[in-house]
């Protein structure tokens, strides 16, 4: 399958981040045509396109929008989830840095479609570069009359606020994000009610991922038939894949959904030093890992589910055979433990206990019976936690055990650093390492 730059098409123009640069490449023409349509017609177009959310779960975007009650007399809100903090996910931040106006244009069209007069872009606080570039784009759009009162003479009013987070992965969970935006600790809310009915300030709210919203101008501007040329029936469209790990050219590769990891790997220059793929994850640390035998499975929502994993954020991480899977999993669990919001017991206590046990394995002090205990424990957490962070924390270990049981057995006697020289996994060597 070929590469198909759409969202990334003009990233090599250093002026793309400005309004003038974006307009030179056709920017904001989709907005002009959207504002001439009825809002419901745009929701219909997005429904027909089959676009699925790029934040991880793959929920159909048009369907989500259609859940917003109309003529309910309440204000509606659009909230863009730009909290990108999932380990391995690194595509929304580059999009916002390189092409912030595509997000802003998507925000204006989406707000018009769902009849929101107020939109928020919640960007994680640790990336000032993305925040300042999006804020700059919002300012330029406001000065050009694309945000504010009576946009392009349509009678539509919109305010857009750029909001910086302050370091909490859980704020990527949509209801925790809303609490955070309301000025509370970012802890998930009970669902239902879903945000589409009672979200920000208890009003109907659509929450979408950055990349999802960036698709909107292209779908509205170029049409459903054009969009559906990419991908499959159930996974239409293109995807900004971010390939990281032991590959020669890690980076951003935009391609149709349905491309395989083997093809992406070839585009990314193959494995470094000609080493073997040991394990890889299609989209973030919260999806089960796969191995070299899965390289030819199409990267779609449905095919990844069939392979026992998920497309997730579509940002594959690839590790070679120098890496200890025990160490990789332990590190992810340390992350989940650190980021657990503490609201519910299975996740708060479970991540603590799993991490403690895995750290014993990392140091060669695991036991056979603990391998089973960990399976039980993950089973107790998955499906019994208040939000999907708990489920995610229960994912890496069982997946790793399925393919690499021997390594956990070995870690009952020998520290992983004595089995796998850490320096062999480094991307630098010699003088650079001091």
Partner 1 sequence: MAISESTREQLDELVARYPRPRSALMPMLHLVQSLEGEVTPEGIALCADMAGVSAAEATAVASFYTMYKRRPVGRHHIGVCINTMCGLLGGDAVYDALSERLGVGHDQATPDGEFWLERIECQAACTHAPVMTVDWEFMDDVTPASAVDIVDRLQRGETVHSTRGPAIRDFRATEHSLAFPEDGLAAEGTPVDDKMLAGLRLAKERGMSAPAVPAGQEG
Task: Give contact residues for ligand FMN (rule: CB under 6 A).
Answer: 53-57, 59, 81, 83-86, 169-170, 172-174, 207-209, 212, 387-389
Nearer to ligand SF4, 303 or 339 (CB): 339
Q: What is the DSSP letter of 25?
A: T
Q: Find which of ligand SF4, ligand FMN, partner 1, none residue 344 binds, CB within 5 to 8 Å per kind.
A: ligand SF4
Residue, CB closest to ligand SF4? 347
386 binds, among partner 1, ligand SF4, ligand FMN, none (CB under 5 to 8 A by kind): ligand SF4
Answer for which of 90, 119, 347, 410 binds ligand SF4 (CB under 6 A) is 347
Strand partners, 343: none
CA-CA distance, 239 to 258, in Å (whole number)? 10
Query: What is the DSSP pairing of strand 317-320 with strand 77-82?
Result: unpaired
Scan residues 115-174 and list those touching partner 1 (CB under 8 A).
Answer: 118, 124-129, 131-136, 139, 161-169
Pick one of ligand FMN, ligand SF4, partner 1, none as the site partner of residue 217 (Cβ within 5 to 8 A by kind). Answer: partner 1
Alpha helices in 6-127 (DSSP H): 19-24, 29-34, 39-49, 61-66, 92-98, 100-114
**How many residues does this entry show for the chain?**
434
Using an 8 Å Cβ cutoff, are 200 and 79 in contact? yes
Q: Out of 56, 221, 312, 366, which residue is the one contacting partner 1 (CB under 8 A)?
A: 221
If one asks whether residue 425 binds partner 1 (CB under 8 A), the answer comes out as: yes
Kindly tell me which residue out of 10, 239, 294, 343 binds ligand SF4, with binding defined by CB under 6 A: 343
Q: In 354-380, which positions are buried (b, 16+ CB within 10 angstroms) versus exposed (e)? A: bbebbebbbebebeeebbeebeebbeb
Residue 55, CA distances (Å) to 39, 107, 208 in order:
24, 16, 7
Q: Name the residue among 8, 162, 36 with its Cα closest to residue 92.
A: 8
What minimum distance in Å lies between the beta carbon of 207 and ligand FMN? Answer: 5
Phi and psi torsions of 279, nearest 5°: -150, 155
> Which residues inside 164-223 make contact with ligand SF4, applying CB under 6 A?
170, 188
Query: Of the ranges 82-90, 101-109, 340-348, 400-408, which one interacts with ligand SF4 (CB under 6 A)?
Result: 340-348
Tokens of 191: 């669902």
Cβ of residue 201: shortest distance to partner 1, in angstroms?
A: 7
Binding-site ranges for ligand SF4 (CB under 6 A): 170, 188, 340-344, 347-348, 385-387, 389-390
């Amino acid at each position: 399958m070929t590469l198909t730059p759409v969202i990334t098409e003009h990233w090599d123009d250093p002026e793309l981040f400005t309004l003038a640069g974006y307009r030179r490449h056709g920017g904001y023409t989709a907005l002009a045509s959207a504002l001439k349509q009825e809002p419901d017609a745009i929701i219909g177009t997005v429904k027909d396109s089959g676009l699925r959310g790029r934040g991880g779960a793959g929920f159909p975007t048009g369907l989500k929008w259609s859940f917003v009650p109309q003529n309910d007399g309440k204000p509606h809100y659009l909230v863009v989830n730009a909290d990108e903090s999932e380990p391995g996910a690194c595509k929304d931040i580059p999009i916002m840095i390189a092409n912030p106006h595509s997000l802003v244009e998507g925000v204006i069209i989406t707000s018009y479609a769902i009849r929101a007069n107020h939109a928020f872009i919640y960007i994680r606080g640790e990336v000032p570069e993305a925040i300042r570039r999006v804020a700059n784009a919002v300012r330029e759009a406001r000065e050009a009359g694309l945000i504010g009162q009576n946009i392009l003479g349509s009678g539509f009013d919109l305010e857009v606020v750029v909001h910086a987070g302050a370091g909490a992965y859980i704020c990527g969970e949509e209801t925790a994000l809303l609490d955070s935006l309301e000025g509370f600790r970012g802890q998930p809310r009970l669902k239902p009610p879903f945000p589409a009915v009672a979200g920000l300030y208890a009003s109907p709210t659509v929450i979408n991922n950055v990349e999802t919203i960036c698709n909107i101008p292209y779908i509205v501007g170029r049409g459903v038939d054009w969009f559906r040329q990419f991908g499959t029936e159930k996974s239409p469209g293109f995807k900004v894949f971010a390939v990281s790990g032991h590959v020669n050219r890690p980076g951003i590769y935009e391609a149709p959904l349905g491309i395989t990891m083997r093809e992406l790997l070839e585009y990314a220059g193959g494995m470094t030093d000609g080493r073997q793929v040991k394990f890889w994850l299609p989209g973030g640390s919260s999806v089960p890992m796969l191995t070299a035998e899965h390289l030819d499975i199409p990267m779609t929502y449905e095919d990844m589910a069939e392979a026992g994993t998920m497309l997730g954020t579509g940002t594959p991480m690839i590790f070679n055979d120098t890496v200890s899977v025990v160490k990789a999993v332990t590190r992810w669990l340390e992350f989940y433990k650190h980021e657990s919001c503490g609201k519910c017991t299975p996740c708060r206590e479970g991540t603590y206990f799993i991490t403690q046990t895995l750290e014993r394995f990392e140091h060669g002090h695991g036991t056979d019976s603990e391998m089973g205990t960990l399976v039980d424990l993950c089973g107790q957490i998955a499906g019994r936690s208040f939000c999907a962070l708990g489920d995610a924390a229960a994912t890496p270990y069982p997946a790793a055990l399925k393919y690499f049981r021997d390594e956990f057995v070995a870690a009952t006697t020998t520290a992983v650093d004595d089995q796998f020289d850490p320096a062999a996994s480094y991307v630098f060597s010699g003088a650079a390492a001091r």
